[in-house]
Structure 1
Amino acid sequence: MLQYFDVTRDAPWFPQVKALYESAFPANERIPIKHLLDDKIKREFWAFFDKGEGDNGTVPKFCGFSNSISHGDITNIVYFAVVPELRSRGYGSQILQAIRRQHPDTRIVVDIEVEEDSKDAEELERRNRRRDFYQRNGFDAAPVEYHWQGEHYRLLSAGGTVTEKEFRDFWKEILKDIPGAKYP
């Protein structure tokens, strides 16, 4: 069973989270990590640990992180990554389950890069694996696509679909007090 803790700049696991964030997401898909830590937008920024791994089960092993925003009955998982050497071991599914437990009555959305836009076979394979992972975990395509920071995204949702208007209204509300912020 995974445990999770808030990510703060002072947390002992912050360097691990930051390194995974920077390695898991291309520069054009990241925002400065300081924005994930500030309180202008209420985010859930969690580091996940497996207590059963490590030194005879006594030292929890860092497995990954999630960063999500909730408003109304929508929770948007903005960033989510599992440590590369731990992928395909069920940790990603456990992280999604933990988020769902915290938000049982919300529609949970994630975005993925549109598969058709991949530039080569290796990238297409990564995008297809990502889509298949979310589908195995109960996410279905929502009728929403958008462009952000030079990338084309498709929305997937679990717990019910989200319309384009709902998605745009969600981001307008989240970013309303941040001057110059652009929503999808």
Structure 2
Amino acid sequence: MELQLLDTKVIEFIFHHHIVKDFPTAETRPLKNMLQLYHSQHYRGYGLYDHDELLGYAFFAGDQTQQVLLLDYFAIVENKRSFGYGSQFLQLLKKQMQGNLIIAEVESVESTKNSEERQLRHRRIQFYLRNSFTKSSLNCRLFGVDYSLLYLFDQQVDDNALYEYIKALYHSIFNPIIYKLFVKLKRGVK
């Protein structure tokens, strides 16, 4: 298995064949926005491949000259799930992105009353925790969806410093009007 940096053609393919199926519409960044961020060097993607077969994909948003990036999408393609590829992929990404502070937004367990959905969200958070992420006390509401914020870094990060990093990150990927209307970053409990 290997990581490959994705170009715009592959990003478009993954968007149309995987992202729109793997993520709820409310959590799907428009392709046009992804490509705009890509061309302004605020977006990059990696594919996990076994020879020429795509096993998974990960997209990162943020100013590439900075060392704070948002894990915008992370998924294993549907027919390859439950074989341990997700953990292997994260370990390869961790090595590739060493020195970067990686932020992951995971749907908040507390924001749903549906017990099945709560279990699924809890399992997602546990997956990231098993793979070296740390849960912060920070939460955010983006475009009406509540998220818990986790991070991956070589050392512990104080939540106050993390708050400032994430705030700057969101300002780098959202224009001021969108930020004001649709981004609510807040402190909470772990």
Give the letter aligned to residue 111 of structure 1: E
Counterpart of 2:178 in 1: which secondary structure?
coil
Q: Give distance in 2, aligned partners of 1:48 and 1:62.
A: 6
Give the letter aligned to residue 168 of structure 1: K
Q: CA RMSD in A?
A: 2.1
Give the number of equivalent residue pairs. 172
Tell me which residue corresponds to 2:107.
113
The alpha-carbon deviation at position 15 of structure 1 amounts to: 2.9
Gaps of 5+ in 2: 184-190
Tell me which residue corresponds to 1:169.
168
Tell me which residue corresponds to 2:118.
124
Tell me which residue corresponds to 1:181.
178
Identity %: 26
* Structure number with higher helix proportion: 2
Verify the 8 A CA contact 1:24 1:81 in the aligned structure 2: yes
Tell me which residue corresponds to 2:187.
none
The alpha-carbon deviation at position 14 of structure 1 amounts to: 4.1
Give the letter aligned to residue 28 of structure 2: R
Give the letter aligned to residue 57 of structure 2: F
Counterpart of 1:78 in 2: which secondary structure?
strand
Counterpart of 1:181 in 2: which secondary structure?
helix
**Taking structure 1 as reference, are residues 84 and 3 closer, same or farther at Cα in structure 2, changes over 3 Å only?**
same
Tell me which residue corresponds to 2:5.
5
Find out whether 1:139 has 2:138 as its counterpart. Answer: no
Tell me which residue corresponds to 2:186.
none
**Taking structure 1 as reference, are residues 44 and 16 closer, same or farther at Cα in structure 2, changes over 3 Å only?**
closer
Tell me which residue corresponds to 2:143.
149
